[in-house]
């Protein structure tokens, strides 16, 4: 157990209740090149508006690393390619089928697959982008072998989802994913466990587990790397989130790139909070429609500290498992932090 004393837990209202919301499944999904740090603003498109794709088929790839593909999280029709300033690609939008059709990659045994075969399967399916490389938190380089791979199994950010809910029913897929990750590194797969870690993490095999306690950022994977095995000069490590480990496990055991995620819908400006099962890149509007207390809100994909503002017409980020709805905060505060009061953060 590593006990951290420095940090701060920001206490916000609106934590997700342990229930699933009755929202309908989103019709539109999108992938955004900007979700991946270090990629170019104008990737190479392999589809156009009107193209039909299956889940796991490529949409575009980065010109600097052409082997790393962004693949569709759903099956359907590409309806729009949205561009930003200087014609940079902002989003590739897909209208999803009612019944998702998956590209069949074929099954591979996670315990016996070679490293080369595992890398190729992750690259061709688009699951490679779920891995990120430290330092700099960029997309993992398939030409490098990481010293270790780290998985933070708890989150101390404000209103963060509960892993006992998000990982329920994914025990077998999570273990299969860990077996695949073990093939990719020359060192170990490390799990960072919270004080009340669910059995899916405690019972994991073939890993090195370290327990952490303390305020935020104890759940930050970078903090865990620092305390367990700091990165030395010339070394790289990879990181991945627990639900994404399960996605990789399903890819190998079932042969399909199934990006289903349990997302926490949180924030004080929602009438009802809870959890929702959807897929990577889901439309935010369909999840929160009819659930807002008022219109003067800020909608964030991710947590309030490091999430991205997406707005009503935005989409869930590639790595996010949380949607947060906060008061916009554009009301003036008399005297701001100078106001005589108890110790508290400013608005």
pLDDT, tens digit (0-9, with 9 covering 90-100), for 122-155: 999 999 999 999 999 999 999 999 999 999 999 9
Q: pTM, whole model, 2 decimals?
A: 0.95
What residues pair up with 145 in beta bridges, in sequence order?
none
Those residues of the chain that have pLDDT short of 50 are: none
pLDDT, tens digit (0-9, with 9 covering 90-100), for 258-317: 999 999 999 999 999 999 999 999 999 988 989 999 999 999 999 999 999 998 899 999
Q: What is the pLDDT of residue 190?
A: 98
| CB atoms near residue 36 (< 10 Å) | 20
Q: What domains sit in the chain, N to C, each tagged with a CATH number? A: 129-256 (3.40.50.11540), 260-327 (3.10.20.600)
């Amino acid at each position: 157990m590593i006990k951290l004393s420095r940090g701060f837990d920001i206490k916000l209202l609106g934590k997700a209740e342990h229930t699933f919301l009755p929202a309908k499944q989103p019709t539109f999904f999108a992938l955004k090149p900007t979700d991946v740090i270090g990629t170019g603003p104008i990737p190479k498109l392999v589809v156009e508006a009107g193209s039909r794709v299956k889940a796991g088929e490529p949409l575009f790839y980065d010109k600097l690393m052409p082997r790393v593909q962004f693949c569709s999280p759903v099956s359907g029709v590409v309806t729009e390619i949205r561009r930003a300033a200087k014609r940079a690609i902002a989003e590739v939008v897909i209208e999803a089928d009612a019944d998702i059709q998956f590209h069949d990659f074929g099954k591979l045994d996670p315990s016996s697959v070679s490293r080369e075969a595992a890398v190729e399967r992750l690259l061709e399916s688009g699951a490679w982008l779920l891995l990120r490389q430290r330092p700099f938190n960029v997309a993992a380089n398939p030409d490098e072998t990481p010293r270790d791979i780290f998985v933070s199994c708890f989150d101390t950010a404000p209103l963060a989802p509960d892993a006992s809910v998000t990982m329920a029913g994914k025990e077998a897929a999570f273990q299969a994913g860990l077996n695949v990750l073990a093939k990719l590194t020359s060192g170990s797969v490390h799990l960072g466990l919270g004080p009340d870690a669910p059995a899916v993490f405690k019972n994991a095999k073939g890993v090195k587990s370290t327990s952490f306690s303390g305020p935020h950022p104890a759940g930050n994977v970078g903090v865990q790397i620092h305390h367990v095995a700091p990165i030395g000069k010339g070394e790289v490590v990879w990181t991945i989130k627990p639900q994404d480990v399960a996605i990789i496990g399903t890819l190998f055991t079932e042969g399909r790139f199934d990006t289903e995620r349990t997302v926490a819908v949180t924030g004080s400006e929602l009438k009802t909070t809870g959890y929702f099962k959807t897929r990577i890149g889901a439309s935010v509007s369909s999840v929160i429609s009819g659930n807002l207390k008022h219109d003067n809100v800020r909608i964030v994909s991710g947590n309030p500290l490091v999430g991205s503002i997406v707005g009503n017409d935005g989409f869930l980020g590639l790595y996010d498992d949380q949607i947060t709805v906060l008061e916009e905060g554009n009301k003036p505060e008399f005297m701001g932090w100078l106001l005589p009061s108890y110790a508290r953060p400013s608005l």
